[in-house]
Amino acid sequence: MADLDPALGFASAQPVEGSAAAAILLMLLDESEAATILKHLDPDEVRQLAKAMFDTASATETQIGQALDRFVTRSRSVSALAVGADTRIRTVINQAVGNVRADNILAAVAPQSSAASLEMLRWMDVEAISALLASEHPQVGALILSVLVPDVAARAIETLDEGLQADLVLRAAMLSSVPAAAIEDLEAVLAAANIGGQRVAKQPIGGPSDVAKIMKVMPRHLSERTIRALKKHDRQLAQTIEEEMFVFDNLRDLDLRSLGTVLRSVDAALLAVALKGADETMADLCLSTMSQRASETIRDEMAEMTMVKRADVDDAQKSIMQVVRQMAAAGEIVIAGGADDYV
């Protein structure tokens, strides 16, 4: 067995990869150069790299060499055209048609960048975010909520009044893109906190999927209460969020006993269709909780199916997840969540 490297936390015979390799490279750079790189990362990435830099502080010469080799190999696959492309393209267009026309052209065709004001929100602490959510217009609050890391958003929501919690979640769930005017309103709010930003045309943001990520890491009592409140305003939207909170692939998160309890409550034909669209490991996991006879019956049904419509698979999987939610609500099973168990 390979000796464990106490600094890196994995076997020293294994190659240095991921954040460990990136951390080693950053440690080799000048402080200002490393800082410049970190400025382009989001807060979670910076935190992850900071931890990795502490963990790799005692990296061996071999591990440093592995990190450098990995960087050189990956760098070869990056086209020289990609380096500084944005600046060069803008310069060429400006020289060709003038600044005003260039701005119009680039606004229509250039990939949109994230507004700096939205990015800066990710760096604020929970207390400051909670104060903004409580004091600003709910629509601005919904925009703030939608760009936060889910666990930060969940903790911020938890500090608010019950009525405001549901209002913000509902508005955030109904967002799809944010026009420039809304971002300008947000910039005006953040200006008081000395947080500036660049203006962009519109941002794809919010919606049921983003809200579901926040709801999943909320304490159980808060997520349940918020869902109930949402159902009073928009039952279909609330149902969509519930479906996004726990999808078919999340059955892997159930303990085997709970998974078996669920599957024994599902019609065999329905389960066969659902598993037909799942990967092999998911199918094997589900069938392992059943008796040999039941398992063989479902495998035979799956084998007899030739082509199954994706829509039919989706419907079958959603039906099973509805059973999961009903059983969880009845206390028959427990679904592991983030800050608490989610039902």
Confidence at 76, pLDDT banded by 50, 70, 90: low
Residue 38 has pLDDT above 70, yes or no: yes
Residue 89 has pLDDT above 80, yes or no: no
Map residue 225 onto helix, strand or coil.
helix
Give the pLDDT score at 275. Answer: 92
What separation, in Å, do the N-terminal and C-terminal C-alpha atoms of the chain show?
43
Encode 30-47: b = buried (16+ Cβ within 10 Å), e = exposed: eeeebeeeeeeeebeeee
Contact 126, 115 (CB under 8 A): no
pLDDT digit string, tens, across residues 178-208? 666 666 667 676 666 555 444 433 445 568 8
pLDDT digit string, tens, across residues 14-36? 566 778 888 888 888 878 777 87
Cα→Cα distances 280→253, 277, 287, Å: 16, 9, 11
Residue 84 has pLDDT above 50, yes or no: yes
Give the pLDDT score at 33. Answer: 79
Which of 95-99, 110-114, 318-322 is predicted least confidently? 110-114
Q: Do domains 116-224 and 248-329 have the same CATH topology?
A: yes
Give the pLDDT score at 94. Answer: 67
Which of 166-180, 182-196, 243-257 is predicted least confidently? 182-196
pLDDT higher at 244 or 336: 244
Domain spanning 248-329, CATH class? mainly alpha
- CA dist 200 and 202 (Å) reads 6
Residues 6+ apart with CB under 8 A from 212: 241, 242, 244, 245
Give the pLDDT score at 233. Answer: 86
pLDDT higher at 131 or 85: 131
- CA dist 207 and 176 (Å) reads 6
pLDDT higher at 42 or 251: 251
116-224 maps to which CATH number? Answer: 1.10.220.30
The ranges assigned to domains in the chain are: 18-75, 84-111, 116-224, 248-329
Which of 97-111, 119-133, 230-244 is predicted least confidently? 97-111
Contact 214, 157 (CB under 8 A): yes
pLDDT digit string, tens, across residues 283-307? 999 999 998 998 999 999 898 888 8
- CA dist 338 and 70 (Å) reads 34
- CA dist 145 and 226 (Å) reads 15
Task: Pick the closest to residue 286 from 263, 312, 268 (CA basis).
Answer: 263
Map residue 192 onto helix, strand or coil.
coil
Give the pLDDT score at 223. Answer: 85
pLDDT higher at 116 or 326: 326
Mean pLDDT of the chain: 76
Residues 6+ apart with CB under 8 A from 102: 90, 93, 94, 96
Segment 153-173 shows an average pLDDT of 88
- CA dist 278 and 252 (Å) reads 12
